[in-house]
Amino acid sequence: MDPSPGPEARALDREVGRKIAEQISLLPDMQREVFALRYYQDRPLAEIAALFGVDVGTIKTHLFRASRRVRKSLEALYGPRLPL
């Protein structure tokens, strides 16, 4: 049996990926930039904080708020069990 996902699963993955990108694009600038640096570029929190000239705690707050916002918007679309 082929372990790779079928066409329906791949289509759902693409749809969810588009929705995530859409929700990230709607974040406030600072949240979007911090989110991208941390999760897309895998930058350490201390490095991100230094880039913006703020405390690490401030970066953590922006990440928390951005993640919560994206998750809540996806839960509104897909329910509490996200297809991730």
Q: Does residue 15 fall inside a structural domain?
A: no
16 vs 22 pLDDT, higher one: 22
Enter the DSSP assignment of 3. -
Give dist(CA 81, CA 83) in Å, integer: 6
Which residues form the domain of 55?
A: 29-78
Q: Does residue 23 fall inside a structural domain?
A: no
CA distances in angstroms from 22 to 33, 36, 78, listed in the order given: 14, 13, 15
Q: Does residue 50 fall inside a structural domain?
A: yes
Cα 67 to the chain's mean position, in Å?
6
Tell me the Cα Rg of the chain.
Answer: 15
Average pLDDT over residues 5-19: 84
CATH of the domain at 35: 1.10.10.10
Q: Does residue 47 fall inside a structural domain?
A: yes
Model confidence pLDDT, tens digit, residues 39-84:
999 999 999 999 999 999 999 999 999 999 999 988 888 887 765 5
pTM metric for this prediction: 0.79
How many separate domains does the chain show? 1
Q: Does residue 46 fall inside a structural domain?
A: yes
